[in-house]
Amino acid sequence: MARRGRRGATLQEIAQETGVSVATVSRVARGVGQVSDDTRRRVLAAIERHDFRPSPLGRGLAKRSHGALAIVFPGLSGPYYSEVMGGFEEEAMRAELAVVILGTHLLRESGQLVRDTAARVDGLAVMGGVLSDDVVDRLRDRGDPVVLLASGPRAGIPTVRTENVSAFDRLTRHLLVDHGYDRLVFVGDPDSSPDAAYRWTGFGQAHRYAGAGTPASPVRVGLTQSDGFIAMDRLLDAGPPPRALMCANDETAIGAVLALLDRGYRVPQDVAVTGFDDIPMAGLPVSGLTTVRQPMRELGAVTAQVLLREIDGSGPAAVDHVLETHLVIRGSCGCGTT
């Protein structure tokens, strides 16, 4: 194995070349402390010339911090995650921190993987449903700053999430009451992610409110477009379609729409479909997808802010931030169709 070696110059080299001490170079590089104009100029020139960048390793060791944040996702597919990431990253950048994304793709030993990552960052944001409770607790116990994303509330750990239950309740009532639909079916697995669980709760809540009887059991599938397609396919094979399909997110909704159209059904005339998230694609189909908008970017940004506060120890130990959501009524629920 050859030398992996460091690339680029070190403080030492710059110092030697300029004839000053490393301390001075360090100060100049960071723009702190008192340095005479003349010295500063000379050092700056050398830094420029060698394209010197302080080693994150050395710096990390000295400052007892890694200069990085991690965010843990179930995978890294999809517009939702992408958007959340964007907000998180932007906020991290503002604080001059790097971001490590951890997609638990091959999470066989995700506990191990997460702990390794935890050792390389100053704090972690963990998406709901991707890590078992005790893994999170162990992280926490070890002293790692952690915040939970799209999940909670949870004792002792700050959480950031969006309003799900009542939004889904309102959406369901819209179908039940305003449109007068019966036979609603929920697509999504309440056990696999907190988000799906909240939405399922809102679904039931609206049924009780409307006196619509016990809803059918959910079609338990994941959150991808394929899952939505498969769910619809399965439903169609099993018998006559439901009057309306309420999907746990937009991607499954679009998958379902595709399956319906593909088999000759019309949306919303034959089957109404709704989603959640309001991803870019949701506004496109001619009918437009009726959905709930959640501030995904802001979700990521706030998570980063809370994590930052958690890291430097300011702010209360644990809070539960809930961001607002609101209904987006388009055509796929039947509104605007004669």
Per partner kind, with CB cut-offs from 5 to 8 A, the member of DNA, a copy of itself, none near residue 89 is a copy of itself
Per DSSP, the residues of 168-221 read HHHHHHIIIIIS----EEEES-TTT-HHHHHHHHHHHHHHHHHT--PPPPPB--
Which of 77, 166, 192, 205 touches a copy of itself (CB under 8 A)? 77
CB of 139 to DNA, least distance (A): 17
Residue 30 contacts a copy of itself per CB under 8 A: no
Structure tokens at 324: 């607002």
Task: List the end-to-end C-alpha distance of the chain, in Å, as a whole number.
Answer: 72
Residue 150: partners with Cβ closer than 8 Å, 6 or more residues away: 127, 128, 129, 160, 161, 162, 193, 194, 195, 299
Report the SS3 class of residue 243.
coil
Residue 134 contacts a copy of itself per CB under 8 A: no
Which of 311, 325, 328, 333 touches a copy of itself (CB under 8 A)? 311
CB of 301 to DNA, least distance (A): 27
Phi–psi pair at 87, nearest 5 degrees: -65, -40
Assess contact for 334 and 268: CB atoms under 8 A.
yes
Rounded distance, CA 239 to CA 45, Å? Answer: 76
State which H helix or E strand residue 273 sits in.
Answer: strand 272-274
Stretch that binds a copy of itself, among 31-39, 105-113, 166-174, 318-326 (CB under 8 A): 105-113
112-131 positions binding a copy of itself, by CB under 8 A:
113, 115-117, 119-120, 122
CB of 314 to DNA, least distance (A): 18
Stretch that binds a copy of itself, among 156-164, 175-183, 185-193, 253-261 (CB under 8 A): 253-261
Per DSSP, the residues of 154-171 read BTTB-EEEE--HHHHHHH
172-231 positions binding a copy of itself, by CB under 8 A:
224-226, 229-230
Residue 68 contacts a copy of itself per CB under 8 A: yes
Which of 31, 213, 239, 313 touches a copy of itself (CB under 8 A)? 313
Interface residues with DNA (CB under 7 A) are 6, 10-12, 19-24, 26-27, 29-30, 32-40, 52-55, 57-59, 61-64
How do 244-247 and 184-187 pair as beta strands? parallel
Which of 16, 40, 44, 86 touches a copy of itself (CB under 8 A)? 86
Assess contact for 174 and 185: CB atoms under 8 A.
no
Rounded distance, CA 208 to CA 213, Å? Answer: 7
Per partner kind, with CB cut-offs from 5 to 8 A, the member of DNA, a copy of itself, none near residue 33 is DNA
Per partner kind, with CB cut-offs from 5 to 8 A, the member of DNA, a copy of itself, none near residue 226 is a copy of itself
Stretch that binds a copy of itself, among 24-32, 54-62, 240-248, 316-324 (CB under 8 A): 54-62
